[in-house]
Chains A and B, each alone.
Chain A
Amino acid sequence: MKNIVFLLLIWAGVFSVTAAQAQDKRPVTITFWVGGVCEMCKERIEHTVDVPGVKSADYNLSSHELTITYSPKKISEKEIHALLNKAGHDTSASMATDEAYGLIHGCCKYREHEHNH
């Protein structure tokens, strides 16, 4: 009986460790703000994060929010923001360089829309 309890305890211990590890490996879903105004932006944003490690991405044009599922083992949240910045899109964490922003299509100039020329 004692042995069984002991084995069970070991099994529970091993299980909780592997479960914890699995937790780390498990893909994460986050939602954050990304600057964008039109269908073309949506397409570019979703295409930009279509990289290894990202499982799915959906940009909501009305809320300007990107919902993204990724595997933290393969890509970090910071890298995702960097990719978007490189493509010319500001995010809640970091901004695109003016050069990158300058390259996006005229109708996508989300910063101007807020400044209102």
Chain B
Amino acid sequence: MRALITLAALLLAACVQAQQLTGYVRASALGEPLEQAQVFWKGTAVGSTSRADGYFELQRVPGYDTLACRLAGYREWQLFIATDQQEVIISLDQPMDGPEVVIEGEQRAQELNLLDAQRFQTLNEKELCKAACCSLSESFETNASVDASYTDAITGTRQIKMLGLDGKYTQVMFDNIPAVRGLATIYGLGYLPGPWIREIAITKGAGSVVAGYESITGQINVAHKSSEMKERVFVNAYAGSQGRMEFNGIFRQPIGERWHSTWFTHASSIQRRMDMNGDGFLDNPLFFNSIVRNEWKYTGARGLRGEYAATYSNHESTSGQFNFDPQDDVRSRLWGVNTNTQRADFSAKTGYVFPDQDGKSVGSQVNVNWHRQTGLFGDRRYDGEQVSVRVNLLYAAEITEELKFISGLSYNRDDYQEQLDTVNFDRMESVPGVFSEFTWNRGTRLSVIAGIRGDLHNYYGGLLTPRLHARWSITDRTSLKVSAGMGYRTPNVVMDHVGMLAGNRQIRIEESGAEWPFGLSMERSTTLGIVLGSKFKLFYRDASVTVDFYRTQFSEQIVADWETPTVVRFYNLNGESWSNAAQVELQSSPVKRMEWRIAYRWLDARTTYDDRLLMRPLVAQHRFFTNVGYETRASERGAKWAFDFTARWLGRQRLPSTFANPDAFRLHPWSDSFWIINAQVAYHFSKKLELYAGGENLGNFMVMDPIIGAENPDNPLFDASLVWGPVFGRMGYVGLRWRIGAED
């Protein structure tokens, strides 16, 4: 029987040869063959996948004449095919804005990447749905590599940490454009709603030089949903027991053959006053956020591509003592924080791929950003405005089949006008730069990315940034990656440490050079990393284990010294400062449709404070993480249950010294260790509609007295900046996700 079918298939294949389209997929017109590329007729689901030698064959579909090809890490390719054409060579090009990971088909929620020399981990939509909501800073709840902690016990602002160092050392990009910078360093993560996100790619250690010199501990690139979204309309609504209401809507509309327009909308709010830990202060700020974004994508016939987007956002937030009202008279007013932030952002990316020329392409990225924040922190007034312009021009080509490069020019200008009470921190940074990045692939086993950039900073002079990434696949299933690179950052004292404004700490900046911003030097560091990743079969299904170690060493750093209770001092590092981070993560599927991840991390981050080498405060040396996800078997129409459970344990953290305070205002030098447990249940009625409900901090762990001197905010010892754990207890939420419109 089997032989008969094979024979029949062969005969059929022979007689239909004439109406078939055959061809090869290559990295360029004469480049290496590419396998696993998806070749299909645009507008249909009829497709095929290229073999190891790049060869594919495909049946014609009457009425469809545009052939498309997709492969992770390459730009989507399209071409008109005449009815009588029988052969085609598809040459794919690397995308303009660096290697981009495209997730195709069904994937694990978090993918360990064995082949990309730089990329460490990718979080896709499936993973993002596991977190309760809301903004980007909360999207890392189910990730072991990135921590989210609070900046202070009052404003509810979250910041991320990587490798035990503050989020300011991580370069965050939206669609490959550096985004969370300058005055937005901390608050910026709140400006991208979680449901807008298609994918987050995390690179630990030094990243690509194409995006600039600012990444020190890593790069996080966040991709918007936009035109890759299958549905026409996406709606998300959320309500939480802390009083948070949220709405997100995404509307996608193809316009003509070539254009695609997408509207993103977001509104969220908390209006209910709550004080669960009974310290007289609001646990969560009262706020109202609204964000709107319009994006246009152009896909030209002859290799021209464009992405244009404009975003506007407005944030208002009030926090502080329970009955604080910013409208009250100054003299009778309670202690509180009231901030208003407005942002406008415009970005344009245009790329052109030269047809029939070995992977040659040019591209430009232009970004203009305006940010204004005004705030009242107790009696202190803050007023900050930043106008940034960034231009990046890129040229990519192949030297040989194995050696490719991206080279370009960049210009970055940040105009800051910042005022805290009567002190002015106005400054203007202007940085032209050049860069080159070479990618060398030796077969499938070895890949090296070597980049270098040179920048000329108007305050700090010439900056040379060399970076190197290499990946060696020891076997098909085991790979070793190493990375090394330098990074720089200019001082941004007030907004990098905005938590210090939640209290009466005096701010003392110990200047060392008057002509520099804040009179402080630039931060300079080197980060080295090594990652060993291996995939194997466990319980008959795919499993993986990753072990990594990173070291960041600062040669110059701005030390934020909290060791004297009533003051926060900023000065140039005089001595050693480093962070060592090691992590082991195991991923497996013990039961069908179950994913289980378990991770342990060890951190040793130390900085010289005056002349003492101390552990960096508010960093847990030991950290344990586990996440289990399970889905039931989907019914015919896609109905299923999905369960998710995350538990994390943080070991004790060193708290800055409060020894100088009177007894009642002293904190124990070490925090407690604690567990945070989150869980979620989702019911999918079909592939289009799902309802979810969940709980956060189910163990109801709270720091009971996170604010020193909470009884009397006039006391100079009053301080809410030393927060080491959650200030809000158990919380429940419900929400829905609804995808409307045909998948095309």
A69 to B589, CA, bound (A): 14
| B5 at the binding interface (Cβ < 8 Å) | yes
Quick check: A116 and B1 within 8 Å, CB to CB? Answer: no
Measured between alpha carbons, how far is A90 from B50 in the docked complex, in Å? 22
Scan residues 1-53 of chain B and give those whose CB is less than 8 A from a CB of chain A.
Answer: 1-2, 5-6, 9, 12-13, 16, 19-20, 35-36, 40, 44-51
The reply to whether B1 and A93 contact each other, CB–CB distance below 8 Å, is yes
- What separation, in Å, do the CA atoms of A105 and B16 have in the docked complex? 23
The CA of A112 and the CA of B634, in the complex, are separated in Å by 28
Q: Which of A50, A93, A107, A117 contacts B45 (CB 8 A)?
A: A107
Task: Tell me, rounded to whole Å, the shortest Cβ–Cβ distance linking A105 to chain B.
Answer: 8
**Cβ 8 A contact of B51, one of A40, A62, A92:** A62
> Are A56 and B45 in touch, CB under 8 angstroms?
no
Contact of A47 with B2 at beta-carbon distance under 8 Å, contacts A42-B105, A55-B541, A114-B12 already known: no
Contact in complex: B59, A61 (CB < 8 Å): no
| Contact of A37 with B48 at beta-carbon distance under 8 Å, contacts A43-B106, A116-B19 already known | yes
* B44 and A116 form a contact (CB under 8 A): no
User: Interface digits, B206-235 against A, CB 8 Å rule (1 contact, 0 not)?
Assistant: 000000000000000000000000000000
Closest-CB distance, B303 to chain A (whole angstroms): 26
At the interface, yes or no: A77 with Cβ under 8 Å from chain B?
no
Q: B592 on the interface (CB 8 Å rule)?
A: yes
Contacting residues, chain A, for B62 (C-beta < 8 A): 117
Query: Is B5's CB under 8 angstroms from A95's CB?
Result: yes
Contact with B along A57-70 (1 / 0, CB 8 A): 00001100000010
Would A113 and B1 be within 8 Å (CB), given that A50-B592, A50-B633, A62-B51 are in contact?
A: no
Instruction: Note all chain B residues with C-beta closer than 8 A to A61.
Output: 47-49
Q: Which chain B residues numbered 42 to 94 have a C-beta less than 8 Å away from chain A?
A: 44-51, 56, 59-60, 62
Q: Which of B16, B19, B50, B540 contacts A62 (CB 8 A)?
A: B50
Compute how far the CA of A116 lies from the CA of B13 in the bound complex, rounded to whole angstroms. Answer: 10
Chain B residues within 8 Å of chain A by Cβ, number:
35
Residue A94 at the chain B interface, CB threshold 8 Å: yes
Return chain A residues, CB-CB under 8 Å to B50: 62
Interface contact B540-A69, CB-CB below 8 Å: yes
A40, B1: Cα distance in complex, Å: 27
Contacts of B49 in A (CB 8 A): 61-62
- A47–B51 Cα gap in the complex (Å)? 25
A39 within 8 A of B: yes
Candidates B2, B36, B48; contact of A92 at CB < 8 Å: B2
Which residue of B has the minimal Cβ distance to A105?
A: B45
Min CB gap A106→B, angstroms = 9
Whether B592 and A56, one on each chain, are in contact in the complex, defined by CB atoms closer than 8 angstroms, is: yes
**Distance from B139 Cβ to chain A, minimum over Cβ atoms (Å):** 26
A69 CA to B539 CA, complexed, in Å: 10
Task: Report the separation of the CA atoms of residues A105 and B35 in the bound assembly, to the nearest whole angstrom.
Answer: 27
Question: B16 touching A115 by the CB < 8 A rule?
Answer: yes
Residues A93 and B59 in contact in the complex (CB < 8 Å), given A39-B105, A115-B12, A115-B16: no
- For B48, what are the chain A residues with a Cβ–Cβ distance below 8 Å? 37, 61-62
Q: How far is the CA of A107 from the CA of B62 in the complex (A)?
A: 13
Give the complex CA separation of A33 and B40 in angstroms: 21
Residue on A nearest B5 in the bound complex, by CB: A92
Q: B539, A40: Cβ atoms under 8 Å?
A: no
B540: chain A residues at CB < 8 Å are 27, 29, 55-56, 69
Whether the pair B59, A116 counts as a contact (CB closer than 8 A) is yes
Residues of A within 8 A of B6 (CB): 92
Q: How near does chain B come to A103, taking the closest CB pair, in angstroms?
A: 11
Minimum CB–CB distance from A74 to chain B (whole Å) comes to 13
**Chain B neighbourhood of A39, CB < 8 A:** 45, 47, 105
Query: Inside 8 A of B593's CB, which chain A residues have their CB?
Result: 50
| Shortest distance between the CB of A78 and any CB in chain B (Å) | 12
A38 at the interface (CB under 8 A from B): yes
Q: Which residues of B contact A54 (CB under 8 A)?
A: 592
Cross-chain contact A116 with B60 (CB below 8 angstroms): yes
With A and B bound together, what is the CA distance between A116 and B15 in angstroms?
10
What is the bound-complex CA distance between A93 and B6, given in angstroms?
Answer: 10
Residue ID in chain A nearest B19 by CB atoms: A116
Closest to B59 in A: A113
> Which residues does chain A contribute within 8 Å of B106, judged by CB atoms?
43
A27 to B13, CA, bound (A): 35
Asked if B2 contacts A93 (CB within 8 A), the reply is yes
Within 8 A of A (CB), among B631-667: 633-634
Encode B149-173 as 1/0 by CB contact (under 8 A) with A.
0000000000000000000000000
Smallest CB–CB gap between B43 and chain A, Å?
10
**Set of chain B residues within 8 Å of A113, measured between Cβ atoms:** 46, 59
Question: CA A27 – CA B541 in complex, angstroms?
Answer: 12
**B46-A107 in contact (CB<8A):** yes
Most buried by A among B5, B16, B47: B5
Q: In the complex, what's the smallest C-beta–C-beta distance from A61 to chain B, in angstroms?
A: 5
Quick one: which of B5, B46, B105, B542 contacts A90, CB cutoff 8 A? B5
Chain A positions 80 through 114: 1 when the CB is less than 8 Å from some CB of chain B, otherwise 0: 00000000001011110000000001011000011
**What residues on B are CB-neighbors of A37 within 8 Å?**
45-48
Indicate which residue in B20, B45, B592, B634 contacts A116 across the interface (CB closer than 8 Å).
Answer: B20
- Asked if B1 and A47 make an inter-chain contact with CB atoms under 8 angstroms apart, the answer reads no
Residue of B nearest to A52 (CB): B592
| B114 CB, nearest partner CB in chain A, Å | 17
Complex contact A94–B1 (CB within 8 A): yes
Contact B46 A116 (CB under 8 A): no
Q: What's the Cα separation between A55 and B51 when bound, in Å?
A: 27
A113→B2 CA distance, assembly (Å): 20
Interface string of A15-33 (1 = CB under 8 A from B): 0000000000001010000
Minimum distance in angstroms from A28 CB to a CB of chain B = 10
Q: In the complex, what distance in Å separates the CA atom of A92 from the CA atom of B634? A: 26
Q: Nearest-CB distance from B627 to chain A (Å)?
A: 20
State how many angstroms separate the Cβ of B468 from the closest Cβ of chain A: 34
| B45 touching A38, Cβ below 8 Å | yes
B106 closest partner in A (C-beta): A43
Interface contact A114-B5, CB-CB below 8 Å: no
| Distance between Cα atoms of A90 and B105 in the complex (Å) | 22
Chain A hits for B634, CB < 8 A = 47
| Nearest CB of chain B from residue A56's CB, rounded to whole Å | 5
Nearest Cβ distance between residue B271 and chain A, in whole angstroms?
Answer: 43
Closest to B48 in A: A62
C-alpha spacing A40/B729, complex, angstroms: 44
A81 to chain B, nearest CB (A): 11
Give every chain A residue within 8 A of B45 (Cβ-Cβ).
Answer: 37-40, 105, 107-108
Q: Lowest 4 CB-CB distances: which A-B pairs, in order?
A: A62-B49, A107-B45, A55-B540, A38-B45
Show 13 residue pairs from A and B whose CB-CB distance is below 8 angstroms, ordered by the A residue. A29-B540, A38-B47, A39-B45, A43-B106, A50-B593, A55-B539, A56-B542, A61-B47, A62-B50, A62-B56, A94-B1, A107-B44, A108-B45
15 A-B pairs besides A43-B106, A113-B59 with CB distance below 8 A are: A37-B45, A37-B46, A38-B47, A39-B105, A40-B45, A47-B634, A50-B593, A55-B541, A56-B541, A62-B49, A92-B6, A93-B2, A107-B44, A108-B45, A114-B9
